[in-house]
Structure 1
Amino acid sequence: MDIDLDKLDLHDYKPLREIVFESIREAILDGRLKPGERVMEIQLAEKLGVSRTPVREAIRKLELEGLLIMEPRKGAYVADVSLKDVVDVLEVRSSLEGLAASLAAIRASEEEIQLLREKSTQFKECIEKSDVQGMINKDTEFHEVILQAAKNKKLTSIIESLREQVQRFRVTYFTEYNMTTYLVKEHQNVLDAIESRNSEKANEYAQKHIENIEKFIVSRVKDNFKIDNI
């Protein structure tokens, strides 16, 4: 197994165990470590250029988060996620993202609206360059500005937790979803509603955006997931 991980920058100000944890976690979320793949301490330590101790600590923490599963006498594996799990998360997230957009339409400052415009433009530029990682980053930042503008810390915490649970599938979504003009239009609809202070429309458009992601996953990539309990 050749793990796609780079040696760590050990000059980072964070504790080594935290750097190792974040590196492995990111590899799981962005799909470099795939569901069902075995995770071995020795290989990870060699790839990251560290001892096995912080890797072992990271594996334990990732198990607590549900991203890794420990099996007796077999070791650690990247947790599988069923299609039903993903759909359940997106159904909840759809309503909460709608709420966030509706609050943003009421509470957003002019600076935050301008920032939304900038993120929307940057997202379009990434599409023109076929920059998938850039699209993912700018889409994330667009939604983060909406959460910032909603000014509700509890809502932000819940949505971010839900987003991370499906983060590993976003590469597939942005790579395979070739109707990118629709993504641009969806962002623009949400932006226009927030800018015009129309909380009802902001709610509607934000929910629709997440619902379209759900429909895509169900129709196009369900073969990549375990489909138990659908």
Structure 2
Amino acid sequence: MPVPSLSGVHKRPLLRDNVFESIRNAIVDGTFEPGERLKDTELEAWLGVSRTPIREALLRLEHAGLVIALPGKATIVAPYDQASTESTQQVVGGLHELAARLAVPLLTEDHISAMAEANSRFEQALQNADVESALQADDDFHAVFVAVSGNPVLRDLLEQTTPVLRRVERMRFGSFAARGSVAQHTEIIRLAGLRDADATARACRENWLSLRFTSSQ
């Protein structure tokens, strides 16, 4: 199992979360490929931590659907599965719909401006074929509703489910098909500015459900 050339970088106060995020990000960005075996000893050498936080991180990743534990054998990166990915997409879309519905009545002009700025960065990143920046800008855009909603359960559920879609988002944001999301974001901003919570919520849900993918990607 090839691992990134990074060792002993995690500070103890955030040990468990950092270990989880490092492994999760390596799965999402393709460093660890679908079907690849994740070996505790190699993860220990990469992350510079003991086996306990690694096993805890792998358990969390299993619950998130990103790894599969084969009893008595190994832990592998979950292969792409279109049915489970589409199911996750429906849940994530519904969560963002709820976030928008809760947030719109509480939005300020600063929030609207932050969304517009994030969408501008998103559009520029797509034009530059900068997938990492596009993902960050898209996250920043949707994070406004999630933060303003004030619902920590909603936020935690999104943190658990969204990574399953991130591999698909990476492929989409590297293609011309993603350009449609810029216009969808613009419409979401317009509706939010009108304080139309229902229409904004529906538009957010449709934005997430418009993420198209096939098993051949």
Q: TM-score, normalised by structure 1?
A: 0.80
Matches within 5 A, 1:32-181: 32-50=31-49, 54-63=53-62, 65-175=64-174, 177-181=175-179
1:192 maps to what in 2? Answer: 190
Q: Which moved more, 1:182-191 or 1:73-82?
A: 73-82
Q: Which moved more, 1:69-78 or 1:80-89?
A: 69-78
Matched-pair contact (CA < 8 Å) for 1:107–1:151: no
For structure 1, which runs of at least 5 residues remain unmatched after alignment? 225-230
Query: Could you tell me how far apart the structure 2 residues matched to 1:5 and 1:70 are?
Result: 25
Residues 160 and 76 (structure 1 numbering): CA distance in 2 closer, same or farther, change over 3 Å?
A: closer
Residues 83 and 189 (structure 1 numbering): CA distance in 2 closer, same or farther, change over 3 Å?
A: same
2:180 maps to what in 1? Answer: 182
2:202 is paired with a residue whose SS is helix
2:176 is paired with a residue whose SS is coil
Matched-pair contact (CA < 8 Å) for 1:120–1:142: yes
Query: Could you tell me how far apart the structure 1 residues matched to 2:90 and 2:14 are?
Result: 37
2:13 is paired with a residue whose SS is coil
Matched-pair contact (CA < 8 Å) for 2:9–2:48: no
Query: Could you tell me how far apart the structure 2 residues matched to 1:102 and 1:16 are?
Result: 35
1:166 is paired with a residue whose SS is helix
Displacement of 1:38: 0.6
CA RMSD of aligned residues (A): 2.6
Matched-pair contact (CA < 8 Å) for 2:111–2:144: yes
Displacement of 1:128: 2.9
1:223 is paired with a residue whose SS is coil
Q: TM-score, normalised by structure 2?
A: 0.84
Between the two structures, name the one with larger relative contact order (CA 8 Å, sep ≥ 6). 1
For structure 2, which runs of at least 5 residues remain unmatched after alignment? none
Matched-pair contact (CA < 8 Å) for 1:104–1:194: no
Paired positions, count = 217
Displacement of 1:134: 0.5
1:27 maps to what in 2? Answer: 26
Q: Which moved more, 1:185-194 or 1:79-88?
A: 79-88
1:227 maps to what in 2? Answer: none
Give CA deviations for 1:141-172 in whole Å, capped at 9, x if unaligned. 11111112233333333333332332233212
Give CA deviations for 1:7-26 in whole Å, capped at 9, x if unaligned. 3424x353545433331122
Query: Could you tell me how far apart the structure 2 residues matched to 1:61 and 1:162 are?
Result: 11
